[in-house]
Structure 1
């Protein structure tokens, strides 16, 4: 009996001192994390606008217009090369106008005449060359305004033709934005033919006969030898039988010269632009010199329809940073001409390439916002975090830090955020973007497919946040 008790206590001792084996805890996939209400934890939620309460005024306008359908709501998207091509912003424009109505294309610019890329929706051409200058260059006395690119000529004689390729953006109203709203351009949709009656000398063809010389031929037609040589590009008096000569005789005949002349339209003006409204939707128009102007400086053209809904203007300059826009007061002054109800910012990639630290990046962002507010533009703001990229083939940690800082100050500074950086996988997801064909070979710019996906995701997040706004009322 005693032996059995001893065996029992020994077994009990070794059992209680045995260590529990460790088990590896598997990370929870992001897609399996249950979403919670932002009021409970003040953090961004995937697929939505963070701090969306900052844009509630816009949501109120959209909801009201869904019922009354009598307003144009202007959204202005400002950025760098990710925006200049209008691939992402065109996707956003289409999606939001499908939901809220198409009130027009918005701001356009003749990028082709500035020898750079732009939207496929519009095509510009001119019979004269134009000078241009971008806001990314050192400060210069150039007419750089709302488009971030100055375009000008110091003489007339030009015709600037604009053709709208997408039928959805035929327009009824066209507005011309110039420095200090100067009246520099006229508009025309057609031309008239002016005919002038004049005379010209009769030209004959003379076949040289054997034994003829230039002197005898000149005497025959009562012209000089020098004239015959000049018209036939002869270097000497030697001629050969069988060849032909063109000779302008002294006989004259009537001639009609036809010239096309553009017929200027009746243009009106307000405090922001000179404009024309057509009852019929237009897809082509001509800008011609105003006869009273001496210089011709074009900052932008606004196209609108006679319909309520969204006007989505995009402004992008390849290589631009917040500091580049901050250099030119005319940009902020002319921003009023777009009457923004919402501003969207997409800048940060070029700051990272200059190794700008996050503190100074935020400083430039805040200065940009202050310059806007100084013009008494009180539109709500959405700041997009920059998309993932590589910095000289290495992880771009600047973008990661900018994105964190933007979210950190959003509530304090009173703007909303769409976290594109996170939506596209952050730094850990950039290789997958390459596999999916979304990012380009430079690991900075995106493919057409990539930009369109960005635009689609933003539109979804915007509409989802709008639906949440309506549910919470």
Structure 2
């Protein structure tokens, strides 16, 4: 009885918040192949049971936290895709606490940033992305560094939910490259206590009351050149809830994040229960002579290994590439190879697969999405409406799996 009541309660909550169901999306966007928009399992069909069980505890028992990491390139860095899915998941319960989690303040690295993050940059900063082969920086979990040599530099930071309310926190974590930093960050408001993990490069500021913004300046050394490298920020609060972390770097491929020297050590502070893998569009965006599906799969094997080193119980959803054109002219058939690779990865690592490529309509479907105002003229990226649709489709696929889990608990 509790299971049926829970299902009805959650579904009513979703509809109250205006969440369109899958059949509504299929009706509105008739070009979609919603028969493909399901979580698929090529290995263990219970591949997400650990995640669903933790979701139960958070929603129904108000115990613990469930951590989701969404990893990708520009699709994730832009923010609309990950933010929409975060807000969709927030609707699973009316009083569900949702945290902003780990993110990178991209404007400090002079690149585009999600609209719900507000950063005021003080002084001179430079960026260093893992996706550019010419770059050689000591990256951490985020795969991007913001570097300043300016003793007068600083920043102010705040992040907002879709309601326009700022995310509150009782702890801020700064992820840094401490081995090269000579400047010490100073926070306003003044923390009530602090902690430092020099091995991982994580500085923790604790507050006794909720805060919603910080201002950071630096103490510069007298006997060395000023230098500070920021590698990420995490907002934390003590309540049970859902935490949705975004790892997005423009142009990133699987090999990009494998360049991060401190990925595992910093990742332990995030400790994901579920990773949504969205890397592949940049791996596959190349001539046939340079595309090697076996190498692509091997790099994903390494990323899975890293995440399971962080959390042995971590579970995964592999998200296939969107349809795209190579150089705006040629349908990129490598997306078909990516589907096969991810099916193999699903089987090998007992992971779920969500087929965005098939759901879009398959090869050449990006042109249809563009005609409907859902994709941009480069035939790779989506408009904000397209990203929101992607997120809605993925959300309902996750909901379908979670619904089946709840029904399986019925006596």
Asked if Structure 1 and Structure 2 have the same fold, meaning a TM-score greater than 0.5 normalized by the shorter chain, the answer is yes
Tell me, yes or no, if structure 1 residue 287 matches structure 2 residue 250.
no
- SS state of the match for residue 399, structure 2? helix
Q: Which residue of 2 aligns with 1:449?
A: 385
CA distance in 2, matches of 1:61, 1:323: 31
Q: 1:427 aligns with which of 363, 377, 384?
A: 363
Tell me, yes or no, if structure 1 residue 340 matches structure 2 residue 255.
no
Q: Is the 8 A contact 1:388 1:424 kept in 2?
A: yes
The Cα of 1:54 is off from its aligned counterpart by 1.1
Q: 1:85 aligns with which of 69, 78, 86?
A: 78
Report 1:51-90 matches (<5 A): 51=41, 53-90=46-83
Q: 1:458 aligns with which of 394, 398, 402?
A: 394
Q: Is the 8 A contact 1:84 1:318 kept in 2?
A: yes
The Cα of 1:168 is off from its aligned counterpart by 5.2
Report 1:219-238 matches (<5 A): none
Tell me, yes or no, if structure 1 residue 131 matches structure 2 residue 67.
no
Q: Is the 8 A contact 1:326 1:371 kept in 2?
A: no
Tell me, yes or no, if structure 1 residue 353 matches structure 2 residue 285.
yes
Q: Which residue of 2 aligns with 1:254?
A: none
Q: 1:415 aligns with which of 351, 354, 362?
A: 351
Could you say if the C-alpha distance between residues 335 and 139 of structure 1 is closer, same or farther in structure 2, counting changes exceeding 3 Å?
farther
Tell me, yes or no, if structure 1 residue 50 matches structure 2 residue 40.
yes
The Cα of 1:169 is off from its aligned counterpart by 2.0
CA distance in 1, matches of 2:348, 2:136: 37
CA distance in 1, matches of 2:316, 2:196: 26
The Cα of 1:378 is off from its aligned counterpart by 3.6
Q: 2:253 aligns with which of 321, 332, 338?
A: 321
CA distance in 2, matches of 1:265, 1:115: 28
Deviation digits for residues 129-181 of structure 1 (CA, Å, limit 9, x no counterpart): 11221101237552321221111223422231113343152333221111359
The Cα of 1:365 is off from its aligned counterpart by 1.3
CA distance in 2, matches of 1:434, 1:376: 39
TM-score (norm 2): 0.80
Q: Which residue of 2 aligns with 1:173?
A: 171
Q: Is the 8 A contact 1:69 1:309 kept in 2?
A: yes
Q: Which residue of 1 aligns with 2:188?
A: 188
* Long gaps (5+) in structure 2: 1-25, 27-33
Which piece of structure 1 moves more, 270-279 or 75-84? 270-279
Q: Which residue of 2 aligns with 1:164?
A: 159
Q: Which residue of 2 aligns with 1:151?
A: 146
Could you say if the C-alpha distance between residues 90 and 376 of structure 1 is closer, same or farther in structure 2, counting changes exceeding 3 Å?
closer
CA distance in 1, matches of 2:136, 2:344: 38
Which piece of structure 1 moves more, 94-103 or 310-319? 94-103
CA distance in 2, matches of 1:448, 1:57: 32
CA distance in 1, matches of 2:402, 2:146: 38
Q: Which residue of 1 aligns with 2:240?
A: 308
CA distance in 2, matches of 1:417, 1:130: 39
Greater Cα radius of gyration, structure 1 or 2: 1
CA distance in 1, matches of 2:153, 2:192: 19
Which piece of structure 1 moves more, 114-123 or 375-384? 375-384
Q: Is the 8 A contact 2:195 2:204 kept in 1?
A: yes
Could you say if the C-alpha distance between residues 384 and 129 of structure 1 is closer, same or farther in structure 2, counting changes exceeding 3 Å?
same
Q: Is the 8 A contact 2:100 2:159 kept in 1?
A: no
Could you say if the C-alpha distance between residues 270 and 75 of structure 1 is closer, same or farther in structure 2, counting changes exceeding 3 Å?
farther
CA distance in 2, matches of 1:185, 1:335: 21
Q: 2:108 aligns with which of 96, 107, 113?
A: 113
Deviation digits for residues 346-389 of structure 1 (CA, Å, limit 9, x no counterpart): 01111111242322221221122223334455411111001111
The Cα of 1:118 is off from its aligned counterpart by 1.3
